[in-house]
Structure 1
Amino acid sequence: MNRLIALGFALLLGFGATAHATEYKIDTAGAHAFIQFKIKHLGYSWLYGRFDEFEGRFNYDPKKPEASSVEVTINTASINSAHAERDKHLRGKDFLEVDKYPKATFKSTSFTPKGDGKAELKGTLTLHGVSREITIDVTEIGGGKDPWGGYRQGFHGTTEFALKDFGIDYNLGPASRTVQLILDVEGIAQNMM
C-alpha cells in the first residue's frame, strides 16, 4: 500500500511540475513565424527560400525552460524560392519528392538552456522519409502581452545539415552539400497558468 501511495504522490508531483508550462500555438495565420533556408548555389552565391505552410506548438515555462518541447509539421510542397521552375525542380524526384513525402516533421527531445537567453534544442527531423537527430541553436527573443489580450513568446533558431543525410544526393557541387535553416517562431499562449 505504501508503494501505491508513493507512486500516487510521484505522479502528482510530476503533473505539478509540468502544469505551469504554457502551451503556445505557432502563429502562422498571422504570418509571425518563418521557416527559411539558404544554400550555396555552385559556391558562387546564396540561394534563399522558405516553406509557406507549416503548423506547430511548443510548451515553455521560463522558470523551468529545460522542460520545453516543440512539434512542427511542414507541407513540403509549399517550398518557395521565388522562382517557379526551380520550385518545381525542388518538389520533384531530385530533391523533396513531395508526392511521396508530403510532410516533414520535427519533434524535440531536449531543450538545454545555455544562459543569457541562449539554448540548445535537440530533436528528430523527418525529411524525405529519413529521420535523424538535429541540433538547433536557439535565442529567446522575448515574451509578453499583445494588444489583443493574449500572450506571446518568440524564439530564433539556426541549424544546418547535409542534404545527403536525408537521402537527397543531387549534385550541386561540393559547396552546396549543406543547407542552413533559419527559424523564427512566435507563439500565442493557449493556456496561461
Structure 2
Amino acid sequence: MNDLPVRIRDLPPSCGPVRLVAVDGPAGSGKTTFARRLAAELCCQVIHSDDFPVPWEEGPGGWFHALESQVLRPLQAGRPGGFRRYDWVRGTYAEQVAVPPAPVLVIEGVGTARASVAGLLAYTVWVEAAEPVRLRRVLERDGPELEPRWREWFAAERAWFAADRTRDRADLVITT
C-alpha cells in the first residue's frame, strides 16, 4: 500500500471536489481493516456500511440509498453531507456524522462500489478471502448463533456481486 495514497491523491476529483474511494467485497474479507489503514494514510474520513441499518432480508443493496442521498449527492454538488450513525448494540440511531467536502473520502462495505455510482468513484478496491475464512471471521466477531443468517447473507452477496459485476470494475484486488 506504500504508493497507493499517493496514486489516489494524484487522481482528479470524482464526486464534486472529492476523490471518492470505495473498498468493497464480501463480508469478513477484511474491508474494514483495509479501509481504516488506507484512510489513516490518506488522513481522511471513512464511512462504513455498518454505520447504516441493514435488515438481513434486504441483502447488500438495502442500505445504500441513505449514503447516496445524504452524503454522495450533496458532495457531488460541492455541499457538505451527513447522516445519523446507526448503533447496532442499542438498536437505534446515534450521533450525527458530518461529511464535509474534502480531498478524499473512503466508503467501505458490501455494495459501496456498485455500478450505479461507478461514475462517482475515483478508485475502487476489492477485498476478498476464501469463504471458510470469511465465515470463521464473522462468527468469531458476531457469535456462532448467527451462522444460519450469515450463510443466507453470503448467498445474497454472491448473487449481488454476480449481477453488479463489482469485482470486474476494481482498480485493485486484494486477497487476505
Question: Which of the two has greater helix per residue?
Answer: 2
Q: Find the structure with the greater CA-based Rg.
A: 1
TM > 0.5: no
Question: Bigger relative contact order, structure 1 or 2, given CA contacts below 8 A and separation 6+?
Answer: 2
Pick the structure with more strand per residue. Answer: 1
- Which interval holds the TM-score relative to the shorter structure? under 0.3
TM-score normalised by L of structure 1: 0.23
